[in-house]
Amino acid sequence: MKSGDNYDVIIIGGSYAGLAAAMSLGRSLRRVLIIDAGKPCNRQTPHSHNFITHDGDKPAAIAAAAKAEVLKYASVRYREGAVTAVTPLPGGFTVHTEVGESFESTKLVFATGLKDNMPAIPGFAACWGISVIHCPYCHGYEVRNVPTGILANGNMGYEFVKLISNWTKDLTIFTNGTPDFTEEQLSRFKKHHINIIDKPITAFNHQNGQINTISFADNSELPVTAIYARPPFTQGCELINTLGCELTESGLLKTDIFQRTTVPGVYACGDNMTMGRSVAQAVATGTMAGAFVNKDLIELFF
């Protein structure tokens, strides 16, 4: 592989979604280049759950097994590093990397994930994915029935609390400021003995990412074993904006059921386009993207 090489498909992002797309495409005899910057969103989490055949494995081990399988297909190539620019060509695209290389392809797949933007609470980022978690299907079983906090507020917070009450009855809501719940929501919390603490949070105190206590502005502390939180996210790769791909109201890439974005020749799969953020969903949408890129290439040249 050298700069200037031409491919049927370039896949930007080589984690679960990108590797799944590459599997479908390699098996379709397509010349594929995967370019990956190596920063999957779950990289800090010790164990990944709820993906059959890999339940409880290390996130990196799942990706490494996938990569080894995919690279057995002779027409699939892999390059480490970030894509820094994408230029449309007549009938394709040029992709530029951070080390000044460029490659051409007929189709482009964005499997670039999302970025979780950590709140400014000291300790939050260090605990992220370890004891501060976002998804009960991924981690709820491991922290079932333990004293649990939920950093949340408003209607979304209410729905989050209701969901998590399935895994533990020992729940406290931390609003980190004025609570914003209806009378009806407050009476449900009361019925289920769920406390609300509205004091401003000053720190999550932890040891190697395992939270022990929360500190508040009034110098008090409260013990806790796990926290659920859903920090705001942004797209993992800004190049979708320069290409003009449309986003949904919630900030995900808009695709049709065949993983095509609103820009012809550009596809998306994985976290960047799906609400159901999971390895299984990344693999499912990636597999679909690969198949429909191949189908569209057949339509183009048959």
Give contact residues for ligand FAD (rule: CB under 6 A).
12-13, 15-18, 35-42, 45, 48-51, 82-83, 111-113, 116, 128-129, 138-139, 236-237, 270-271, 277-280, 282
Which residue, 68 or 298, is less far from ligand FAD as judged by CB?
68
Name the minimum Å distance from CB 74 to Mg ion.
5
Which residue, 8 or 271, is less far from ligand FAD as judged by CB?
271
Torsions phi, psi for 202 (to 5 deg): -110, -25
Name the minimum Å distance from CB 289 to ligand FAD.
11
Name the minimum Å distance from CB 73 to Mg ion.
6
Which residue, 40 or 265, is less far from ligand FAD as judged by CB?
40
CA dist 111 and 18 (Å) reads: 5
Torsions phi, psi for 180 (to 5 deg): -135, 70
Amino acid letter for position 288: M
- Does residue 222 bind Mg ion (CB under 5 A)? no
Question: Which residue number is nearest to ligand FAD in terms of Cβ?
Answer: 270
Report CA-CA distances (Å) from 16 to 39, 107, 110, 143, 197: 12, 19, 12, 25, 38
Report CA-CA distances (Å) from 116 to 133, 147, 154, 235: 12, 25, 20, 9
Name the minimum Å distance from CB 28 to Mg ion.
14
In terms of DSSP bridges, do strands 148-151 and 171-174 run parallel, antiparallel, or are they unpaired? parallel
Closest by CA position to 63, among listed 294, 288, 293, 286:
286
Torsions phi, psi for 149 (to 5 deg): -105, 150
- Count other Cβ atoms within 10 Å, centred on residue 301: 8
Which residue, 30 or 67, is less far from ligand FAD as judged by CB?
67
Binding partner of residue 26 among ligand FAD, Mg ion, none, CB under 5 to 8 Å per kind? Answer: none
Binding partner of residue 13 among Mg ion, ligand FAD, none, CB under 5 to 8 Å per kind? Answer: ligand FAD
Residues 62-121 that bind Mg ion (CB under 5 A): 71, 76
Name the minimum Å distance from CB 288 to ligand FAD.
13
Binding partner of residue 277 among ligand FAD, Mg ion, none, CB under 5 to 8 Å per kind? Answer: ligand FAD
- Count other Cβ atoms within 10 Å, centred on residue 274: 20
Which distant-in-sequence residues (6+ apart) come within 8 Å of 252 by Cβ?
272, 273, 274, 275
Which residue, 45 or 202, is less far from ligand FAD as judged by CB?
45
Which residue, 11 or 194, is less far from ligand FAD as judged by CB?
11
Give the residues lining the site for Mg ion (CB under 5 A): 71, 76
